[in-house]
Amino acid sequence: MRGLRVAGMLVGLVVGTAMDTARGERLFRQTDVFIRGQDGVKIYRIPGVIVSPAGTVLAFCEAREGGDQSPTDMVLKRSFDQGATWQKMQIVVKRKGPQAIMNPCPVIDRKDGAILLFCNLFPNAKSQEIPGAVRQLMLRSTDDGATWSKPVDFSEQIGDPKTWGSLCSGPGVSIQTSSGRLVVPLWHFEGRDKRDYLTGVCFSDDHGKTWRAGKTVAGPGNEGQVVELTDGTLMLNWRTKSGREHHRRTVAISKDGGDTWSKGRLDDALITPVCQGCIIRYTRRQDGYAQDRLLFSNPASTKARVNMTVRISYDEGKTWAVGKTVYAGPSAYSCLAVLKDGTIGVFYETGKKHRYEKISFARFNLEWLSDGADRLEKRSTKAGRAR
């Protein structure tokens, strides 16, 4: 693959032409999934992606008429060949009138392989300002995303309709912990003239039948993502309220499954403009892999939404040893996924001149991400050696 070195990092230029390579060789390929103006949609925003047990890649986003809270449908495209080609767009939740269906945040339930999609319903462009107006929805698919249940509104179980405004999930992905708990990153605001955005999670221990919200993290923030560490601790990673010029992601941990959280701390390694990011589990030693690995994606810049970067942590988020630019140009929201063959996908907003021209899916392997320093292996159960 031909490429360009930007600040010491290789940026792929050839789009959609790289072939799967032999073990140890580097793979990078990219396809454009949602392009502004296609299918009669003025703008696509806010990616969420998940891989089903069958290996299907499900890419969700908002199909908007304009900016935030403008009339918006929740849409989906599926890929059966690991992101190389995509099926026609499906409307998963159709808006009614001025409604905006926003913030996709899917998860797979290991119990039966069902795909759960969490999203929000804004009744109109002014509903964000009204406590109790924005609703939290859940949909379910049991046929690999071909069809979906009617949305279930569980807002009253997790929010205070008298004081909570803009009740929102994600966006990005939700998780299921090793205990089976479904955990959805959640945020809202309280107050009007001096409102603060507060972040936390809601969770279900009965596969989505009932829900409860944990306490929010001390300090303002929103648009969080959550990951389970190898010891069962939850780590929450979010952007701080707009206007705060620290340009770092904020992190907190929970030892009780999301009921309570530590005080948030800035992660100096995760530089950012005011923008969403995504963190997921890649591998665990307890599953037989040679390393514990987390992945993180965001536009790694303190000045603008540019430089879409994916990083690796080998010590459960304490440090981030590897970071590589996927695209150096305009880029914004992103979502990560692990494909069935162990390659990595990042579904992200991008464009040549503007960051919201399209949402693209880049697929690459660990060899590409680490510049050949690491590769995906499992330990030998007999000799205890990597293979």
Handedness of CA 320, 118, 171, 223 (dihedral sign): negative
- The model's pLDDT over 281-297, given as tens digits with 9 standing for 90+, comes to 999 999 999 999 999 99
Query: Could you tell me the CATH number of the domain that includes residue 362?
Result: 2.120.10.10
CB 84 within 8 A of CB 72: no
pLDDT score, position 341 = 96
Query: Token digits for 297?
Result: 């994606």
Residue 178 domain-assigned (yes or no): yes
Residue 258 domain-assigned (yes or no): yes
- The model's pLDDT over 256-274, given as tens digits with 9 standing for 90+, comes to 999 999 999 999 999 999 9
Residue 99 domain-assigned (yes or no): yes
- The model's pLDDT over 170-201, given as tens digits with 9 standing for 90+, comes to 999 999 999 999 999 999 988 665 577 899 99
pLDDT score, position 17 = 33
CB 164 within 8 A of CB 156: no
Residue 384 domain-assigned (yes or no): no
Residue 87 domain-assigned (yes or no): yes
- The model's pLDDT over 110-167, given as tens digits with 9 standing for 90+, comes to 999 999 999 999 999 999 889 999 999 999 999 999 999 999 999 999 999 998 999 9
Closest CA to 106 of 5, 16, 174, 184: 174
Residue 273 exposed, middle or buried by CB count within 10 Å (0-12, 13-18, 19+): middle
CB 386 within 8 A of CB 377: yes
Query: Token digits for 345?
Result: 């996908």
Whole-angstrom distance, CA of residue 194 vs CA of residue 248:
23
Whole-angstrom distance, CA of residue 275 vs CA of residue 192:
22
Whole-angstrom distance, CA of residue 39 vs CA of residue 293:
38
- The set of residues, in sequence order, having a beta carbon less than 8 Å from that of 67 and lying 6+ positions away, is none
Domain count of the fold of the chain: 1
Whole-angstrom distance, CA of residue 14 vs CA of residue 262:
44
Q: How many helices (H) and strands (E) does the chain have?
A: 2, 27
Q: In whole angstroms, how large is the CA radius of gyration of the chain?
A: 20
Residue 381 domain-assigned (yes or no): no
- The set of residues, in sequence order, having a beta carbon less than 8 Å from that of 86 and lying 6+ positions away, is 31, 33, 59, 77, 78, 79
CB 51 within 8 A of CB 59: no
pLDDT score, position 4 = 32
Domain around 176: 3-369
CB 83 within 8 A of CB 136: no
Q: Tell me which of 69-83, 190-204, 285-299, 314-328 is least confident.
A: 190-204
